Structure 1
Amino acid sequence: MLSTPHKSHISGPHSHGPRSHGLWQATAPAAPATTALGGHVSTDIVIVGGGYTGMSCALHLAEAGRQVVLLEGREIGFGGAGRNVGLINAGLWLAPDEVSAALGPDHGERLLKLLGEGPAAVMALIDRHGIDCELERNGTLHCAVGASGLAEIREREAQWQKRGAPVKLLDASETAARLGTSAYLGALHDARAGTLQPLAYARGLATAVVKAGVTLHTSSPVTTAERKDGRWHLTTPNGSVDANWVVVATDAYSTGPWQMVRTEQVHLPYFNLATQPLAPGLLRKVLPGREGVWDTKTILSSFRMDRAGRLVFGSVGALRNSGTAIHKAWARRALSKLYPELGDIAFEHEWYGQIGMTGDALPRLHTFGPNAVGFSGYNGRGIAPGTVFGREIALLIKGEKTYAELPLPVSDVTPATFRRSREAWYEAGAQIAHLV
C-alpha cells in the first residue's frame, strides 16, 4: 500500500495567492465548474493530476470511448501548468546529440522526433477544440550572450538541421530587428515553436476533457493507493475510486502516494514579472513578431509578449523573503539595458513557481505497479512534452503501443542526492547573482 499523510495546506510557491499564478490567473478564461470527489466510484482509468499530461491523456482516452476519472488535488493548472512562461518549445534543454547519446539511438531519436513535433501537436489540439489561450505561432528565439553563447546556438542549429528541423541561426542584425534590442550576438530561430497563455491552455484542455465525457474532480488529493482484487483502489479525503489503470501525472508538485516523484527532482525556482501594456509605438519595436525569447546564460532570462501587449520578463529565483526585492530590482535593471526606452514602466503582476529538475535533465517514465504509469521530470519544458507524453500513455492504455515502443525506457525512481541543500542553494544563489 502506498500512503503518506496529506497536507491540507501547502505554503510558499505552492499556495494559491497573488504570487502563485499572477498574470495568467488574471487573464485566463474560467475553468469548467467542478466539485470534490464524494462517495465511491468505479472506472476504467483514473488519472491523478490536472496539468498538461493528465488532461491530454484524459482527452485522448475519452475520445477513444474509454471511461476516465481525473482527480486534481487543488485546481486545474495549479502546478507548473499554470505558472510557466508559456513557451511552446520543441525538444529539451539538452542539445539533440546529448539526448541521443544519453538514451541510445533508438530511444533518443524517438524522443527527439516526438518532442520536435510536440508544438504542432499542441497547436492542433488548440485548433481542434477552439481553446482561447493567446496562441502565437511565430517561433522562439534562443539568444546568444557572448562568443560562447553564439557557439552554443550554432552547434544546436547544426544538430537540429541534420534531423530536418526548421531552425535557423540569425546574425546580430537580424536578431536586433526581431527583438528591438542589440544586446545579443545572434539567435536561433525555431519555426516549430510559439507561445501561449499557459493557464488558459490548461483550463481549455479541461473544458475539452469534460465535453469528451471525463469525470473531473478538483480539491481531491489522493491520500492512499493500493491494489485490491486485481484493481487499484485510491482514496481522497471524501471519496474513493476503483480503477483498472492509474496514470500518475503530478510531476514536480507530487504529494501523497507518489511523493517519491517529487523527491527525485530538485526544485529550481523561477519567477516572472509582467509590465503594464506597452504603448503602440513601443509594440512596433519591442518583439514585433511576438516570439518567445530566452538567452544562453546559466542563470537565464526569458521574455515574451502577452495578447494585451504586456512584456513578461523572468529568470531563476523565488519571489519571497529577501528575494522579492532583489529579483524585482534586478529585473528593472536588466530590462533597462535591453530596452531603455521602456523607462520606469510599472510591473502589474508578479509570480513564481518551481521547475522540477532531474539529475541528467532528462524526463522519466516510471511504473508504480501493475497498470500504474507516469511521465515526470520536465526540466522546464512542460507544455509540448506534457501534451505528447499524455497522448503516449493513452496509446499504451489503449493497447496501440507497448512499453518498448514508448519514447523513454522505464526507469526506477531514484531520489536526488542532497536535494534540500541544493534547492536552498539555487534560491540563495539566484539572489546573489541578481544582487551583484
Structure 2
Amino acid sequence: MLSTSQTPHSHGARSHGLWEATAPVAPATSALQGHVSTDIVIVGGGYTGMSCALHLAEAGRRVVLLEGKEIGFGGAGRNVGLINAGLWLAPDDVSAALGPDHGERLLKLLGEGPAEVMALIDRHGIDCELERNGTLHCAVGSAGLAEIKEREAQWQRRGAPVRVLDATETAARLGTSAYLGALHDARAGTLQPLAYARGLATAVINAGATLHTASPVTTAARKGDRWHLTTPGGTIDADWVVVATDAYSTGPWQMVRTEQVHLPYFNLATQPLGSDLLRKILPGREGVWDTKTILSSFRLDRAGRLVFGSVGALRNSGTAIHKAWARRALSRLYPELGDITFEHEWHGQIGMTSDALPRFHTFGPNAVGFSGYNGRGIAPGTVFGRELALLISGEKSYADLPLPVSDVTPAPFRRSREAWYEAGAQIAHLI
C-alpha cells in the first residue's frame, strides 16, 4: 500500500504549502479494488467524513470511507487552522434565520465544537500543533469595534467565555497597535489542519474502519434496499451513504458544489521568527483575523513561522499581486520584520452558501450529508460528523439534528460571481 503523504501532488505546488511540509506522514492507504459490502460508506476524507467514520467504527459498525484523492485534500488540508466556535454570522442572526429551536441548538453545538476537537486530539494522541489559548477577532476602525462588541453581547447572553479587549491589551497580545480592540474567544484555538486530518485518519483505521484513497465515486444508485457505488477500481454496496465532499464535490453529488460559490483564500508563511520577535508577536499564540470585508488572518505555527492569509488565489497575475500586498500589510503591522521572505505559499476554496449557513441534505433513502461551512470547517466538520454517526446509529432522529433538511438549490450566477471574487481580491490588494 502507498502512503498518501509519499505520493506526488498532482494538483500543484500551491495546494497545501506549509501544512504538507510539516504534517506527520499519512497512514498507508490504497485505492478500492474489487467488490466490497459494508454497513456504511462515507464519501470524502475531510473532517466531517473522518469524524463520522471514527464515531461509527467506535460504535462497532462496519465502515468504509472513500476519498477521491488524498486524506485532507480539500479544505481540511489547506485552511488557516483556526478552531473557531460558532459561524461567521452573529448568534442572533443564526437564531433568526433558522428559528429558535434549530438556531439555538446549532449555536450550542458549534459553541462546544472546539472542545470536541481538542478532546478528540487528546484521546487519540494526534500530533497537530494544538494551541488552546483562544482566538482574537480584531476591530478595524470604529465600525469594527462596534461589531465585536455586539458579538460579545450576543455570545455572553448565551454563556460563552468571550470578552472584548481594549486597544492596550490587544496591542500586548498581538505585538501591534493596528487595532482598536479584539474579541477574545477562550473556547477557540489553532492547530495544523492537515496534521489533524491525517491524525483522524489514523484513529479511524485504528478503530477498525477501512479507508481508500484515490477512489473517486463515479456512480451511485439504489439497488433494492441498498446503495451501490462505483469507483474506477471497484464497487461497494452499503445500507447508508454519507456525502462528506462539501465544496470539492464532484460526480454523483456535484449538486453540493453548485449550491456554493467558491471564495478563494491564500496563505503565506514566513521563515521562523527569532526568539526576540516571538516574545513580542503573538506571545500567547492565538489565532487572529480582522473585521474587514476582505479580511486578513494570521497566526504562528509550532516553529514560529508567521502564517498570513487573505481572500485571493495564487495563480496567474494574482500570485505577484497578493504576495506584494502581504509584504506591505505585514510591514505595517510589524515593521520590525524587515525584508519579509515567504517560505511557503498555498491557496484553496471556501464554499459559501447564499445565507452563510451550513446545509443538511438527504440524497435519497439513508443518504445524508452536511455541507456549506462558509470558512468554518474544523469544529463544525468534526461535530457534524459525530451528529451523522448518531443519526445512523439510531441515537438521534432527523428532528434532533442541528439543521432542518433542505433542498439543494444551485447558486445563481455562480461562475461569474466566482470570477469576480478572484478578480476583485486582486483589485483590492493592488490598490
Tell me the TM-score range normalised by the shorter chain.
over 0.9
Counterpart in 2 of 1:115?
Answer: 110
**Identity, % of aligned positions:** 90
The superposition leaves residues 115-142 of structure 1 with CA deviations (integer Å, 9 ceiling, x where unpaired) of 0000000000000000000000000000
Please state if 1:304 is matched with 2:304.
no
Q: Which amino acid aligns with 1:414?
A: T
Please state if 1:148 is matched with 2:143.
yes
Counterpart in 1 of 2:196?
Answer: 201
Q: Secondary structure at the match of 1:234?
A: strand
Q: Secondary structure at the match of 1:244?
A: strand
Q: Secondary structure at the match of 2:35?
A: strand
The superposition leaves residues 36-63 of structure 1 with CA deviations (integer Å, 9 ceiling, x where unpaired) of 0000000000000000000000000000
Between the aligned partners of 1:122 and 1:253, the Cα distance in structure 2 is: 22
Between the aligned partners of 2:170 and 2:126, the Cα distance in structure 1 is: 31
Counterpart in 1 of 2:338?
Answer: 343
Among candidates 423, 426, 434, match of residue 429 of structure 2 = 434
Between the aligned partners of 1:223 and 1:238, the Cα distance in structure 2 is: 10
Please state if 1:333 is matched with 2:337.
no
Counterpart in 2 of 1:75?
Answer: 70
Among candidates 230, 235, 252, match of residue 235 of structure 1 = 230
Counterpart in 2 of 1:402?
Answer: 397
Among candidates 127, 130, 137, match of residue 125 of structure 2 = 130
Between the aligned partners of 1:301 and 1:15, the Cα distance in structure 2 is: 29
Q: Which amino acid aligns with 2:176?
A: T
Q: Which amino acid aligns with 2:396?
A: K
Please state if 1:106 is matched with 2:108.
no
Between the aligned partners of 2:147 and 2:30, the Cα distance in structure 1 is: 48
Counterpart in 1 of 2:6?
Answer: none
Counterpart in 1 of 2:264?
Answer: 269
How many correspondences in the alignment? 423
Counterpart in 2 of 1:7?
Answer: none
The Cα shift of 1:229 comes to 1.1
Counterpart in 2 of 1:9?
Answer: none
Please state if 1:213 is matched with 2:208.
yes
The Cα shift of 1:15 comes to 5.4
Between the aligned partners of 1:411 and 1:15, the Cα distance in structure 2 is: 35
Between the aligned partners of 1:186 and 1:179, the Cα distance in structure 2 is: 11
The superposition leaves residues 239-295 of structure 1 with CA deviations (integer Å, 9 ceiling, x where unpaired) of 000000000000000000000000000000000000000010000000000000000
Counterpart in 1 of 2:180?
Answer: 185
Q: Secondary structure at the match of 2:29?
A: coil
The Cα shift of 1:85 comes to 0.1
Counterpart in 2 of 1:376?
Answer: 371
The superposition leaves residues 320-355 of structure 1 with CA deviations (integer Å, 9 ceiling, x where unpaired) of 000000000000000000000001121000000000
Q: Is the alpha carbon distance of 1:15 and 1:159 closer, same or farther for their aligned partners in structure 2, counting shifts above 3 Å?
A: farther
Between the aligned partners of 1:338 and 1:428, the Cα distance in structure 2 is: 25
Counterpart in 2 of 1:315?
Answer: 310
Between the aligned partners of 1:17 and 1:305, the Cα distance in structure 2 is: 24
Structure 1 residues without counterparts, runs of 5 or longer: 1-13
Structure 2 residues without counterparts, runs of 5 or longer: 1-8
Q: Secondary structure at the match of 1:188?
A: strand
Please state if 1:41 is matched with 2:7.
no
The Cα shift of 1:17 comes to 2.4
Q: Secondary structure at the match of 2:424?
A: helix
Q: Secondary structure at the match of 2:314?
A: coil
The superposition leaves residues 58-86 of structure 1 with CA deviations (integer Å, 9 ceiling, x where unpaired) of 00000000000000000000000000000
Counterpart in 1 of 2:79?
Answer: 84
Between the aligned partners of 1:234 and 1:400, the Cα distance in structure 2 is: 26
The superposition leaves residues 278-324 of structure 1 with CA deviations (integer Å, 9 ceiling, x where unpaired) of 01000000000000000000000000000000000000000000000
Counterpart in 1 of 2:246?
Answer: 251
The superposition leaves residues 345-396 of structure 1 with CA deviations (integer Å, 9 ceiling, x where unpaired) of 2100000000000000000000000000000000000000000000000000
The Cα shift of 1:418 comes to 0.1
Q: Secondary structure at the match of 2:28?
A: coil
Q: Which amino acid aligns with 1:355?
A: I
Q: Which amino acid aligns with 1:347?
A: F
Q: Which amino acid aligns with 2:22?
A: T
Please state if 1:162 is matched with 2:157.
yes
Among candidates 134, 137, 140, match of residue 139 of structure 1 = 134
| TM-score normalised by L of structure 2 | 0.98
Among candidates 58, 62, 67, match of residue 63 of structure 1 = 58
Q: Is the alpha carbon distance of 1:51 and 1:271 closer, same or farther for their aligned partners in structure 2, counting shifts above 3 Å?
A: same
Between the aligned partners of 1:349 and 1:61, the Cα distance in structure 2 is: 36
Q: Secondary structure at the match of 1:374?
A: strand
Counterpart in 1 of 2:5?
Answer: none
Between the aligned partners of 2:288 and 2:194, the Cα distance in structure 1 is: 19
Among candidates 387, 395, 407, match of residue 392 of structure 1 = 387
Between the aligned partners of 2:121 and 2:325, the Cα distance in structure 1 is: 35
Map 1:23-38 onto structure 2 (within 5 A). 23-38=18-33
The Cα shift of 1:186 comes to 0.1
The Cα shift of 1:18 comes to 1.7
The superposition leaves residues 408-429 of structure 1 with CA deviations (integer Å, 9 ceiling, x where unpaired) of 0000000000000000000000
Between the aligned partners of 1:95 and 1:283, the Cα distance in structure 2 is: 32
Between the aligned partners of 1:267 and 1:17, the Cα distance in structure 2 is: 18
Counterpart in 1 of 2:90?
Answer: 95
The Cα shift of 1:110 comes to 0.1
| TM-score normalised by L of structure 1 | 0.97
**Alpha-carbon RMSD:** 0.6
The superposition leaves residues 199-251 of structure 1 with CA deviations (integer Å, 9 ceiling, x where unpaired) of 00000000000000111000000000000011000000010000000000000
